[in-house]
């Protein structure tokens, strides 16, 4: 009888961990989706709430053959001013890895002309996931 009790407790614990992990993964996916949509709609206010100040955005631009580097603060201002974003793209999140209070999402963002493949890193800040950085390769969508 004692063994059944301990087995029940162990199974309940494992199910709770699994549900907690799924909630984190869902939370990360929601923040990534909101982050991309905020850029697409030039919603700088929503974007500033999705990112950590002082984070880093790196774009390996294969079209220009250079690397662009922005702080998240600079990038939010670029989006607010219409210097970046403002077009409709398709987002697919191919993987999310969560480890404690950090996460990485591999994303593919496309429109008819361009394709971005990259990694968005997130940090849980006061219980909420925030984008800490992004490294993306920008190419022609063939």
Q: For residue 9, what pLDDT is reported?
A: 56
The single residue listed with the structure tokens 């950590």 is 52
Report the chain's C-alpha Rg in angstroms.
18
- Which of 18-22, 52-56, 112-116, 126-130 shows the lowest per-residue confidence on average (mean pLDDT)? 18-22
Q: How confident is the model at residue 111 (pLDDT cuts 50, 70, 90)?
A: very high
Kindly list the structural domains of the chain, giving each domain's residue range(s) and its CATH number in brackets, ordered by start.
2-140 (3.10.450.50)
Q: For residue 5, what pLDDT is reported?
A: 58
Kindly tell me the sign of the dihedral angle through the C-alpha atoms of 47, 89, 31, 139: negative
Each residue of 81-109: pLDDT tens digit?
Answer: 999 999 999 999 999 999 999 999 999 99
d(CA 135, CA 133): 7
Spatial CA neighbour of 113 closest among 129, 133, 89, 137? 89
Q: CB neighbours of 59 closer than 8 A, spacing ≥ 6?
A: 67, 68, 69, 70, 116, 136, 137, 138
d(CA 98, CA 117): 19
DSSP SS3 for 100: coil
């Amino acid at each position: 009888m004692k063994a059944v009790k301990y087995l029940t407790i162990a199974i309940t614990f494992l199910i709770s961990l699994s549900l907690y992990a799924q909630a984190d993964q869902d939370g990360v996916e929601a923040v990534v989706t909101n982050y991309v949509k905020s850029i697409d709609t030039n919603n700088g206010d929503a974007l500033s709430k999705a990112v950590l100040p002082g984070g880093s955005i790196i774009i390996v631009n294969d079209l220009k053959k250079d690397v662009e580097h922005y702080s998240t603060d600079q990038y939010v201002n670029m989006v607010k001013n219409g210097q970046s974003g403002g077009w409709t793209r398709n987002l697919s999140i191919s993987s999310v890895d969560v480890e404690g209070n950090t996460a990485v999402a591999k994303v593919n963002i496309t429109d008819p002309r361009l394709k971005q493949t990259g990694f968005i890193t997130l940090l849980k800040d006061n219980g909420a996931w925030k984008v800490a950085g992004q490294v993306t390769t920008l190419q022609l969508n063939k």
